Amino acid sequence: MNCNRLRILVCLAWLSVSVCVPRHAAVALPPPTQESESISQGNSLAGWSAVPKSSAADWSIRDGVITGRGSVDRLSYLVWKDELEDFDLRFEYRMVTKGNTGVEVRAHRDATGKRPFEGYHADLGHVGIGPQVLGAWDFHFARRREPACHRGTRLIIEKDGQLRSSHIAGAVQLSDIRKHDWNSARIVASGRRLQFFINGKPSAEFTDNVESKRLKRGIIGLQLHDKGMHVEFKNMRLKRFNPTSATR
């Protein structure tokens, strides 16, 4: 076979592969390298503390299941020891009774005394409590406007404080959430954007573009809200991320 004919055959073979493989075919990316850590295991609440201290008896753990029982009508939190910036928190929760709970995110003490913490709050509650609580983002701000970000909502807080919201396609529905049983939840904090998922579906998300006032770093805390309520958390795994310029 002469060289010219060989070159033609090679070119034809290359063209046939190019036609068969889409130019924009998805490429499988390697999984993240960050390791997750368990922050709920065994029978010890080491690493956690109750706020206020007088509510310590409201919190317990057994076989890796953290239990909160509201003894009085007050805001009580079980706070993890480390301040966090960007992270992925996954856990399961069960509302044994009616009540209002959730996870405080990037929180710090509220110097105004309005509430124990100023922070972003991933809201949870019993089935039927309403989309303004179950699966919503709540904003525990000391001096800022507190916008609504109900279940199924994507909210953007613009640099000037103006609000822009839209519906999340494929968001979790009330029928997707199990009553008095275990449900999975996930909170992803990445720069200005925070996302909340329930049972593998998006629940609510927001982007806070108010640079001078947005919360960049703080604690996470489990919440008790009501007297007589009983909530449980288990399989809590935390993956920390190094902040990147793309998400700042």
Q: Is the pLDDT of residue 27 over 90?
A: no
* CA-wise closest residue to 120 among 200, 196, 175: 196
Query: What was the pLDDT predicted at 243?
Result: 65
First CA to last CA across the chain, in angstroms?
A: 60
Give the pLDDT band of residue 35 (cuts 50, 70, 90).
confident
Alpha-carbon distances of 84 from 35, 106, 217, 225, rounded to whole Å: 15, 7, 5, 23
How far apart (Å, rounded) are the C-alpha atoms in residues 223 and 114?
16
CB-based contact 101:223 (threshold 8 Å): yes
Query: What was the pLDDT predicted at 247?
Result: 44
CATH architecture of 41-241: Sandwich (2.60)
Query: What was the pLDDT predicted at 141?
Result: 97
Query: What was the pLDDT predicted at 244?
Result: 53
pLDDT tens track for 200-210: 999 999 999 99
Q: Which of the pair, 248 or 17, is modelled with greater confidence?
A: 248
Give the pLDDT band of residue 174 (cuts 50, 70, 90).
very high
Q: Is the pLDDT of residue 99 over 50?
A: yes
How far apart (Å, rounded) are the C-alpha atoms in residues 89 and 73?
27
How far apart (Å, rounded) are the C-alpha atoms in residues 66 and 39?
10
How far apart (Å, rounded) are the C-alpha atoms in residues 70 and 164?
36
Give the pLDDT band of residue 242 (cuts 50, 70, 90).
confident
pLDDT tens track for 177-201: 999 999 999 999 999 999 999 999 9
How far apart (Å, rounded) are the C-alpha atoms in residues 196 and 54?
30
Q: Is 244 helix (H, G, I), strand (E, B) or coil?
A: coil
Query: What was the pLDDT predicted at 34?
Result: 65
Query: What was the pLDDT predicted at 201?
Result: 98
